[in-house]
Amino acid sequence: MVMAMTAQPAKISTQKEAGTEWWRGAVLYQIYPRSFMDSNGDGIGDLKGITQKLDYVKSLGVDGVWLSPFFTSPMADFGYDVADYKGIDPIFGTLADCDEMITEMHKRGLKLVIDIVLNHSSDKHPWFIDSRKDKTSAKADWYVWADPKADGSPPNNWLSVFGGSAWEFDPGRGQYYYHQFLKQQPDLNIRNAEVQEELLATAKWWLDRGVDGFRMDALPHCIHDAQLRDNPARPLSKGDGKSTIHPYSMQWHKYDKTQPEMIPFLKKFRALTDQYKDCMLVAEVNDDKTVETTIEYTNGPEMLHTAYDFSLLTHEYSSAYLRRKVEEFFATEHDAWPSWALSNHDSIRVATRWAANDKPDVRQTKMLVAMLTSLRGSSFIYQGEELGLTEAEIPPEKRQDPGIGSTGTGRDGCRTPMPWNGAEKNAGFTAANGGWLPVPAEHAAMAAMSQNNDPNSMLNFTRHFLQWRKQHAALLRGTIAFEDADKNVVAFTREVAGEKLFCAFNLSPGTVTIPLEAGYVTLDGHGLAAKTQGQSVELPAFGGYFGKKG
């Protein structure tokens, strides 16, 4: 059993201050704590390790950090099963370590956005332990419980994202409890006003400690249909692709996700964070109508600031697809602001996923970072993406997360430790005999230390480009309009008062020539090769171009 240990907040915010909306056009760096840096030699990354590497993070030119969960947890889902929302799991350190990390980030001008898991807790959380005692316990209604059908089967056909029924029978209560992920992650009943108030109090506690916002995990999952109606079947079609192999994708998630009652709760969250200066709320949104839900959750001053879009985390890779996904978001009039990512802790690394002819190419990974951070919106870069890390192949006997995720073999391949120094044991990640996951030899060869000394490395390109980008207001907050070009090229203009830029990216390993509208002056210094001749631009393999309207 995991014991919950709660400490008092370090400081209290007493008044609202005007914000800067720093998050618009910002680039945030996602850190997966288990795999970033181990400071105490136990083979697992920790908060002190993160603090030790903050100068490196600052050197990237990012604006802030998104930190994946570090709360007290039995680690059935590596921290996304929270047993104490105000406790630091001992494997990551102490509350003092957390306070030090926050202070050191702020000294470097870095914002900190932490995960807050609203949809579910661990089954070891004291709330759930109380809830499952019986139907009259103090927290009996804090989780989603339902009676069996007359034949003893689950209440409806809802499925877990991780496979099988989303219902688990509990003999003690004689009822099923609902879990949209692992059975060790029972769903909180966010319809319950007491639960809402407790979650808001938790958010306030962390804001008072100095965090700058929250990435709100699995947000569309948080409220279900009160009548527990069955989801309708989703007919399969030839064009559906790999995702429909999973039974979860064979339903329309009409009743188990994205219910209208979520909106008032989100407004309460925004009202809370508006009491703090420069707070950021980013929703994780992934459902049957992601664009519509994203806009609904983020449109207007009462809603969240932005949402984390999954559109570019797929296997599909083409200029037509990329253009369509971005244009879908801006197809209607609204004030919503998107956030984009190419990799994270749940997806195959983009260097492998989108590799042309299955051959990762550093020219492509450079271009992709530039393209991602040139789109209208905020951007998230996952640790190691700045090194061009590929998806690791983990031997079956060393896997920690088997059978979960899009690969069918788990999510370990994108979660391996950061390689800091290829000449050291475990590539400098840990002094232990081995880390919680192994460091692949190919990653050790791409270690930050060696790339730091190579002016042409992926690491130094990322640093240079993100700093160069900050010199151009159009790339931070400008409008976006796509332009017709070669089928292998993503081309668009970004425009803000006083500046209009033309951006073009060649997604292919071959040279492509595209026309250039008169009046553009080539911008140098961004690090992507391109040649102009008259009213045309030659883009080499995975090349890019930036021009400014004269």
pTM of the full structure? 0.94
99 assigned to active site: no
**Calpha distance 393→442 (Å, rounded):** 10
In sequence order, the 6+-apart residues with CB closer than 8 A to the CB of 342 are 312, 313, 350, 354, 368, 372, 382, 385
Beta strands in 323-414 (DSSP E): 338-341, 378-382
Task: Please tell me the CATH code under which domain 27-120+194-224+263-469 is placed.
Answer: 3.20.20.80
**Calpha distance 439→434 (Å, rounded):** 9
In sequence order, the 6+-apart residues with CB closer than 8 A to the CB of 62 are 26, 27, 28, 29, 110, 381, 466
Domain boundaries, the chain: 27-120+194-224+263-469, 478-549
pLDDT in tens, 234-270: 987 655 444 446 899 999 999 999 999 999 999 999 9
pLDDT in tens, 451-477: 999 999 999 999 999 999 999 999 999
**Calpha distance 407→260 (Å, rounded):** 32
Query: Which CATH code, of 2.40.340.10, 3.40.50.300, 2.60.40.1180, 3.90.79.10, is assigned to 478-549?
Result: 2.60.40.1180
Q: Which of 302, 329, 339 is nearest to 63 (CA)?
A: 339
Instruction: Provide the pLDDT confidence category of residue 498 given band limits of 50, 70 and 90.
Output: confident
Active-site residue, from 38, 77, 81, 284:
284
DSSP-assigned beta bridge partners for residue 30: 66, 382
pLDDT in tens, 66-109: 999 999 999 999 999 999 999 999 999 999 999 999 999 999 99
Residue type at 95?
A: L
- What is the predicted pLDDT for the residue at 496? 96
Residue 103 vs residues 10, 137, 380: alpha-carbon distances, Å: 11, 41, 22
- What is the predicted pLDDT for the residue at 236? 76
217 assigned to active site: yes
CB 342 within 8 A of CB 374: no
- What is the predicted pLDDT for the residue at 409? 75
**Calpha distance 66→29 (Å, rounded):** 6
Number of neighbours of residue 325 by Cβ within 10 angstroms: 20
Beta strands in 461-535 (DSSP E): 479-482, 489-496, 499-506, 512-515, 520-522, 531-533
Active-site residue, from 63, 217, 385, 391:
217
pLDDT in tens, 352-405: 999 998 999 999 999 999 999 999 999 999 999 999 999 999 998 999 986 665
